[in-house]
Structure 1
Amino acid sequence: MHDESPRPLPSSAPFAESFPGLRRRGFLAATAVTGAASLGALALTGCGGGARDGGSGGDGKPKRGGRLRAAFAGGGAGETLDPHLSNLFADVARAKALFDKLADYGADLSAQPRLAEKWEANKALDRWQVTLRKATFHDGRPVTAQDVLYSYRRIADPKKAFRAKASLEPIDLDASRPTGRRSVEFVLKRPTAEFPNVLAAFGAYIVPENATDFDKKPIGSGPFRFVSFAPGRSAVFRRYEEYWDGAPHLDELEFIVANEESARVNALLGGQVEYAHELNPTTARAHEGRGQIGIVRLRNSAMQAFCMKTDRAPFDDKRVREAFFLIADREELVRGALSGAGEIGNDLFGKGYEYYADSLPQREQDLDRARVLLKKAGAENLKVTLDTSAVAAGFTEAASIFRDQAKKAGVTLDVKMGSKDSYWNDILDGGTLCCYRSGAMPIESHVSQRLLTDSTTNATKWKHKDFDALYQQVQSTRDKKERAAVYERMQRRLYTEGGFLVWGFADWILGTARTVKGVERKAPANTLDWARFDKVWLA
C-alpha cells in the first residue's frame, strides 16, 4: 500500500435511512476522495491551552455529559469492529475509541507511551523490555503481557491480511516472552533503534487473549465501551469510567455513516451531528469564520508528490530528476490542486516531523536551469507519460498544472487517467512518472517501507546499497543525536537525486458544531490526537 490514509467509500444510503429528514437534493456537490490505502485524518485531544479550540462548559473547565454524534464515510454492510482489520477512516476512529496500542505517535510522529508505561533496549538494540501500565479491559480484567503477545501473534498470522502485519516483521514472536504479568521481552531479528515505532504501528491494537469475535460485544481497554453496532449505519459507545488515562468527558459517542461529503455537511448544519469528518477546501472556505460551524485544518497531514521511477529512462539520469525538481512551481500546485489548503514541500517526506531535514534550502522553480540540465542529459524535447487518477483529491488537477509547467521547460507530459480501483497497484511497478500521496508516518517508516532495496512499496525504485547501509546504521545507533545526523545525510541524498518530487503537504479538514470543545488544531493526521474523542466535550 502506498497512501497511508484511510479510505472513504462512496454511497450514503445508510445515512439517509438513519436520518429520513435529510434528502440528497440540494446537497453540496463536492466530495473529497483520499488515496488507496491506509491512514490520515482528524485530530481531537484533551483540554488545556495551546492549539486547542478554547471554549469550555461555561466556567472555563470541560463539561461532563452528553452524546457526540460523528459522521464518517463508511464501508457498507461489511464493516467490522475488529481493530486489526481497520482500514477506513470510520474503522480506525471506532477502533481508537474501543482499544489501545502500546504506543502512539505524537505531533512530530515520534512514538509516545500508551499502554506501555516504558521501554528499554539492551546494548545491542535487539532485545527490548516493555513494561505495561496498570490498565484494565472493559470487563475488569487487567491488561497483561499475555494479551500483548496474543494480539501481536494474531496480527502476524500469515493466513490473515491484518493491517499491522508488515510493521511487526522485526519481532521474533516465537522467541519473545512475558517476563512478568505486566512486562514483555521482545526479541528482534536485528538491531532496531526505532523499535517504539513498531509499538505505535497503525492497527497494532491490544485485544484480550483469545478474543476472536469483535462485532457482537468487543472488549477493549480504550476510553469507550461497546453499546451497539449496525455495520454500514452506526455504532454507539459509552464512557468507560475506569479508563487508565481518565474517563472521557462525554457520556456517549455515536459514529454515523454518511459517505457523501454533502450529507455530512448538511447533517452538521442541521444539528443532526456535532462532528463531520473529511471536508473539502471549497466547503471549508464557504463556512470558515461565519460562526455557524467550526472548521479545523490539520496541517502537514498528507504528502503530495510526483513519483519518478529512478531505474528507467528518462529518470535513470539524475540530471533529469533534478530538472523536474526545478520545473515545479510548488505554490501554484498548492493553490490549484489543493485549493490553497496546504503548504509547499521541498522534495522530502515528513515536513515538521521528527528528524526532518529543515535546514535544506527551499527549492524554487528555475526553468532556465532545468533546460540546461535536460540538454546535458540529452533530453531536450522530452516526452513523458504522467499517470494520474481520480483516486485522490487533487491528483487530476496537479497533473494538469504540472503538464503546463513542464511545457515551459520544453517537456511534453502526456497525462494518462488510470482506474481508481487499481491505480496504486498499477503505478507501483508500471510507468515512469505518476501522481502520489501519503498520509503521516515516521520518517523512519517512510524510508523502510519505500526507499530500501527490498522495500515492498518502493514506487520510485530507489535501490542503493550505500543508502540501505545508512538505514542499518541508523537502526544500530543508540544515541538520538547521532541518529539524527545520519537521517540528515540520507535526506540530503534524496533532496539531491531522489525520485520523489514532493510539491506540497495537504491539510486535512473537519467540521464541528460550535458546542464541540477540546479540538486539537496542531497535530497532523495519524497521530495520538487523531480521532481522540475521549478528550472532547460538549459545551
Structure 2
Amino acid sequence: MTSTGSHPGHRLLLARTRRRLLLVTAALALTAGCATGPGPADDRAAAEGPRRGGTLRAAFAGGGTAETLDPHAANLFVDAARAKALYDKLADFGDDLAPVPRLAARWEPNRTLDTWRITLREAAFHDGRPVTAADVLYSYRRIADPAGTFRAKASLEPIDLAASRALDPATVEFRLKRPYAEFPNVLAAFGTSIVPAGTTDFDRPVGSGPFRFASFTPGTSLAVTRNDAYWDGAPHLDRVEFVIASEESARASALLAGQVQYAHELDPATARTHERGDRVRIVRLPGSSMQGFVMKTDRPPFDDRRVRQAFQLIADRRELVDGALSGAGEIGNDLFGKGYKYYASGIPQRTRDLDRARALLKAAGHEHLKVTLDTAPAATGFVEAAGIFKEQAAEAGVTVEVRVGNKDTYWKDILDGGTFASYRSGAMPIESHLSQRLLTGSTTNATHWRHPDFDALYREAQSTRDERRRTALYERMQRRLHDEGGFLIWGFSDWIVGTAPGLRGVDPEAPANTLDWARFDKTWLT
C-alpha cells in the first residue's frame, strides 16, 4: 500500500500546508509586539512644522545610460519623479484617482462634451517666461507626433489637435474627436508635462516645476535646486538629488547607511525587517499596484470563456497575497481599481472553487490542461506568485510550466507574445484602464479583449453627462469583464518606501502615480 507521505497529491497538500503554517506564524510574529510609537523628537518636529534648507537624496531604480530628462519619454517611476520635480502637468491625480487642477486653474466642457475650455493659472518657466496656451499646444502636439514614440501618445488620441486652438495666452480650447466626459483624466495622464514651445533639447531642461535643473549624469544621478518663484510655493528643501540604485538591496542598504533619506519601492520582506526599529521609517502606500495574471482571450485555451473562468476559480487569492507579497496588500476580484471612483464594489467576491473549476475545464474539453505561465523578476512578487499558482493549479489537475523571461524586455514580450503571463499595473482611473487596455484599438491590450459592443458601451459612457448614468454604464462594463474577461486580478499591493527618521512630509495615503507620491517640494528635513 502506498503510504500517505509518498503519494504525489498528499506531498503537494503537505507542502502547501507547511507553507500556510509558515505564513501564519510570520503574521503572528508581526503582530505579537507593540509597534514603536512617536517619541519626544517626533513630537517636537511635528510642533515646529516644516523647516527650510538641506539636501535630500532619494534612491530609485533606473534605466541605465540611455536615461533622458525629456518628460514625454518617461517610462519608469524615477522618470515620473524627476519630471514632477522639474515640470508641471495641466492636472494630476489625487489620492482617490480623481483629477485635480495644476497648471490648469479650471476646465469646462460644452454641452455635447466634445469641446473643453482650459483656463491656465499664472505660472512661469524657470527662465522667467510665462506658461501660455501656446506652450500647452506645442507640448501636446509634440507628444502626439506620429514620428515620436512617446508613451502618452495614446492618451491624447481623443484630441483633434489640428482643430484645437489658443483663445488667448491663458485659454486653450481642446476640440475632441468624440464626446469625452472624463477628459480631465487626459490632462493628468502620465508623461504629459508642459514644456516651453519649441523645446527640442533636454540636456539642461527648463520647466515650470518646483525645482530647477542643476546637473545630470544618465544612469547615476540628477541634482535639482529650489525654485523660489514656484507658483505653488517654494519648496522647503534647498536641493534634491535623485540617485540610481537599481537593486532593491542597494536602495535599502543606502537608506540604512544614511547615504540617502528616501528609498523607493522596497520589498515587503525588507519592510517587515525594519519597520519595528528606529533606523528607518516604513511608509506603505495602500492599493498602489494591481497584481494578477493576463490570459490571451483570442488564443487557445483561453479563447474559451470557460477556461478563463476556471483559472479565476483556481486562484487562492489570500495565499497569493500572503506568499507573493508577504501580506502587504489585499485580495482582488478580477477587476481593476479597487476603492477607486466607479469601482463595481457590488459584484460578489470570487472565491476558490476547485470542483467548479474542474467541471468547467471538463466541459471545455481540457481535463488535463497544460499551459505555460510567463513571468520574470520584473516586479516584486512576480516569480513567487507564478510558483504559488502553479501549485494551486495542480490541485485542479492543471499542469502549469513557469517560464522565467528577461526582466528588461518582459513587458514588450508579453504584450503580444504567449498566452498566460504575470501582470501588474500602477494606479490610474478606471476609465483610463478601460481605454488603454480593453478597447479594440487600445495599444496596451495584453488580454487581447476586442469586442465592438464593449467599445460601444465605453463610448456611451463618455457621451453621458449624468454621473449616475455613467456610473451604471461602468458597472455594466465591469460585470461583463468579471464574467468573461482575461484578467485574473488576485491582489492589490501596497507600495513601500523607506525614509530616514528625519524626513517629514511624505504622504502615506498617496498611491504611486498620483500627485503627492514622490513629491519632494512638500517634504523637509528635521
The verdict on a shared fold, with TM-score over 0.5 as the criterion, is yes
Structure 1 residues 9-20: aligned runs within 5 Å: none
Alpha-carbon distance between aligned partners in 1 of 2:150 and 2:330, rounded to the nearest angstrom: 33
User: What is the match of residue 496 of structure 2?
Assistant: 509
In the alignment, which of 522, 531, 536 is matched to residue 509 of structure 2?
A: 522
> By how many angstroms is 1:55 displaced?
5.9
> Does the Cα contact within 8 Å between 2:286 and 2:329 map onto a contact in 1?
yes
User: What is the match of residue 262 of structure 1?
Assistant: 249
| Deviations, residues 39-77 of structure 1 (Å, cap 9, x unaligned) | xxxxxxxxxxxxxxx866463422222111112222333
User: What is the match of residue 86 of structure 1?
Assistant: 74
Alpha-carbon distance between aligned partners in 1 of 2:408 and 2:503, rounded to the nearest angstrom: 36
In the alignment, which of 323, 335, 339 is matched to residue 336 of structure 1?
A: 323
Structure 1 residues 466-485: aligned runs within 5 Å: 466-485=453-472
User: What is the match of residue 232 of structure 2?
Assistant: 245
> By how many angstroms is 1:261 displaced?
2.2
| Deviations, residues 217-247 of structure 1 (Å, cap 9, x unaligned) | x211111112222223222212112211111
User: What is the match of residue 178 of structure 1?
Assistant: 166
User: What is the match of residue 211 of structure 2?
Assistant: 224
SS of match in other structure, 2:294: strand
User: What is the match of residue 92 of structure 2?
Assistant: 104
> By how many angstroms is 1:91 displaced?
2.0
Identity %: 69
The AA in structure 1 aligned to 2:397 is: G
Assess, with a 3 A threshold, how the Cα gap between structure 1 residues 266 and 356 changes in structure 2: closer, same or farther.
Answer: same
> By how many angstroms is 1:197 displaced?
0.9
1:532 and 2:519 are equivalent in the alignment: yes
SS of match in other structure, 2:461: helix
Alpha-carbon distance between aligned partners in 2 of 1:301 and 1:137, rounded to the nearest angstrom: 31
User: What is the match of residue 126 of structure 2?
Assistant: 138
Alpha-carbon distance between aligned partners in 2 of 1:495 and 1:526, rounded to the nearest angstrom: 25
1:425 and 2:412 are equivalent in the alignment: yes
SS of match in other structure, 2:298: coil
User: What is the match of residue 95 of structure 1?
Assistant: 83
| TM-score, length of structure 2 as denominator length | 0.89
Structure 1 residues 184-333: aligned runs within 5 Å: 184-216=172-204, 218-333=205-320
Alpha-carbon distance between aligned partners in 2 of 1:450 and 1:308, rounded to the nearest angstrom: 13
| Deviations, residues 483-512 of structure 1 (Å, cap 9, x unaligned) | 111101110111112110100112211110
Structure 1 residues 439-454: aligned runs within 5 Å: 439-454=426-441
User: What is the match of residue 45 of structure 1?
Assistant: none
Alpha-carbon distance between aligned partners in 2 of 1:142 and 1:183, rounded to the nearest angstrom: 13
Assess, with a 3 A threshold, how the Cα gap between structure 1 residues 428 and 76 changes in structure 2: closer, same or farther.
Answer: closer
1:406 and 2:393 are equivalent in the alignment: yes
| Deviations, residues 84-141 of structure 1 (Å, cap 9, x unaligned) | 1122222221111010000111112121111001111111111110000111112222
The AA in structure 2 aligned to 1:145 is: A
> By how many angstroms is 1:292 displaced?
1.1
> Does the Cα contact within 8 Å between 1:104 and 1:199 map onto a contact in 2?
yes
In the alignment, which of 47, 55, 72 is matched to residue 60 of structure 2?
A: 72
Alpha-carbon distance between aligned partners in 1 of 2:248 and 2:357, rounded to the nearest angstrom: 40
Alpha-carbon distance between aligned partners in 2 of 1:195 and 1:502, rounded to the nearest angstrom: 27
| Deviations, residues 166-191 of structure 1 (Å, cap 9, x unaligned) | 21111111111101110000011111
Higher RCO, 1 vs 2 (CA within 8 Å, ≥6 residues apart): 1
| Deviations, residues 234-277 of structure 1 (Å, cap 9, x unaligned) | 22212112211111111221212222222222222222211111
Q: What is the root-mean-square deviation in Å for CA atoms of aligned residues?
A: 1.6
> 97-106 or 76-85, which moves further after superposition?
76-85
> By how many angstroms is 1:327 displaced?
0.7
> By how many angstroms is 1:426 displaced?
2.9
- State the number of aligned residues: 485
Alpha-carbon distance between aligned partners in 2 of 1:56 and 1:75, rounded to the nearest angstrom: 39
> By how many angstroms is 1:425 displaced?
2.9
The AA in structure 2 aligned to 1:142 is: P
> 73-82 or 497-506, which moves further after superposition?
73-82
Alpha-carbon distance between aligned partners in 2 of 1:312 and 1:87, rounded to the nearest angstrom: 29
| TM-score, length of structure 1 as denominator length | 0.87
Alpha-carbon distance between aligned partners in 2 of 1:74 and 1:416, rounded to the nearest angstrom: 25
> 411-420 or 324-333, which moves further after superposition?
411-420
In the alignment, which of 116, 121, 133 is matched to residue 104 of structure 2?
A: 116
SS of match in other structure, 1:415: strand
SS of match in other structure, 1:139: coil
The AA in structure 2 aligned to 1:180 is: D
User: What is the match of residue 367 of structure 1?
Assistant: 354
User: What is the match of residue 166 of structure 1?
Assistant: 154
> Does the Cα contact within 8 Å between 1:70 and 1:273 map onto a contact in 2?
yes
> Does the Cα contact within 8 Å between 2:290 and 2:336 map onto a contact in 1?
yes
Q: Tell me, which stretches of 5 or more residues in structure 2 are unaligned? A: 1-41
SS of match in other structure, 1:502: strand
Alpha-carbon distance between aligned partners in 1 of 2:334 and 2:443, rounded to the nearest angstrom: 21
> By how many angstroms is 1:293 displaced?
0.6
The AA in structure 1 aligned to 2:83 is: A
